[in-house]
Structure 1
Amino acid sequence: MPWLALILRSLPLMLRSLRNLRSIPAPAPAHGHAAKPAKPEKHPTPAHGHAAKPAKPAKPEKHPAHGHAAKPAKPAKPEKHPAHGHAAKPALVSGSGIFKDIKAPKTAWDNIASACQTGKKRGLESRAAPAGFIPVKMNKFDKYPDSIPVGLYTEGLITCFGIAIHGVASDQKPKANTRWLLHMVASSSSEWEEFEKAVKAEKLENMQGYMSLPKPAKIGAKVGPLIWSQADQDLATEIIEKMKTAVKTLTGKEPKFEMREMEPPTSMQIDGKGVVVAAGKTL
């Protein structure tokens, strides 16, 4: 067959070409080493030849015992308050001198004193004393004998006390001062102590005491610069009772007094004959 003869004739040529291809050396790898055949990719084989186990699914969140829903976190406990839930009471401070047995919050002592200061600005500085009267300033007292028939006058009384004494000169001291007037800051005992000592030194007879005293105000009412509190009222009440007793001890008689409003500020006077007027009322 013609095609078979053609293949046989070309067979020697094909064999020579194959021999030539096999004689060409392969390219040398870096550093002159023969290239190593690539290792077949290793596949992880589980221990002991077992198939790899699939990853375990994540465990569901544990719930409290008995399968109940988790309880919400407890809220923080509120701050503890004093016994019975009342607000803590302020520390009590003792007064001095004649008031040493009285205890009250420091704010109450300060409040009563500061209200007196307001009375001074609106009272004594606002107008002069009436004709025939000598003004008596806050924290001060004055006195006159029968031989000088002038009156004594003070005003701007809010929480302050007005205290007047009238007596008769004794044979021991015939020219004694028989009329006295004190404008006393309610929280200050030193003024009373000085006043009491001076009156005793006059050796008066048949003395009578007079007082202008602050009437209790409604809690929450405005008194001078203050909003009147229960602590203020409690302290004022104790001081009033203490001063009534002090005047009685000095004179030997129950004092005559006027309980007057703290607002507006009022006045007190004792005239040249010993007549006393407090907040417009003759005592």
Structure 2
Amino acid sequence: MKTIFITGASSGLGKAAARLFISKGWKVIATMRNPEKETDLNQLPNVTLLPMDVTDHKQINETVSKAISLGKIDVVFNNAGYGLMGPLEGTSEEQIHRQLDTNLIGVILVTQALIPHFRENRDGLFLTTTSIGGQITVPFSTLYHATKWALEGFNESLAFELQEFNIRVKTIAPGGIATDFAGRSMNLSTHEAYQETFDKMLKVLSGSSIFEFSTADKIAEVAYEAATDGKDIVRYLAGPDAHTLSMQRAQQGPETFRKEIAKALLS
């Protein structure tokens, strides 16, 4: 029986992935900030809940050590993350650090902590949730895009250096996901100079066809495919809007595509 280690498993894609892998006969180590509050996954077979806040560097190492003590881990799914939207000028230093620590530094540190385990076994897969927002951008999401674009480069480069140890590296780039991301997992910054434009963009975006929201279960199926297909592929797009937007950018070129986004969301 194979084992997957998942971060951010308390809701959304993380929880959907945990359920799917369990249904496929896997053991799941589900990590989250407050496992004592979990009332769903702890009712399922072959699940171990462990506490981990990916911004707590000490806790990362403690939880990874505990997970490894339970046996061989086959897949690490770096999934914890959230979105920060709003004008950069109105973003606090605390918000900046939290976005980078959660979406980027946390992934790097979890990955670094588990490389020795995979290297000693000469086997393993790092799977990371990035976003179509790691390949395209929309206005007022500078720091979110910074983390997701960084993760794309981080994982592609890491794939080179770990291949000699039979360690694979893959990313999942979802489009819109119909979860509570825009509520529970979304954080906003504000600045009066930009408020009218920002509010207008949010209104347009909410009624726009740019993002076609998929269920978390559908995105989890792509994660399972990436974990089990044995293919030498780094990037997996997930959701119809992710495929459409990626294709449009490739066909139009980045500058034309950028201008079309501006026209759609800011004009």
TM-score range, shorter chain: 0.3 to 0.5
More helix by share: 2
More strand by share: 1
TM-score normalized by the length of structure 1: 0.31
TM-score normalized by the length of structure 2: 0.32
Larger radius of gyration: 1
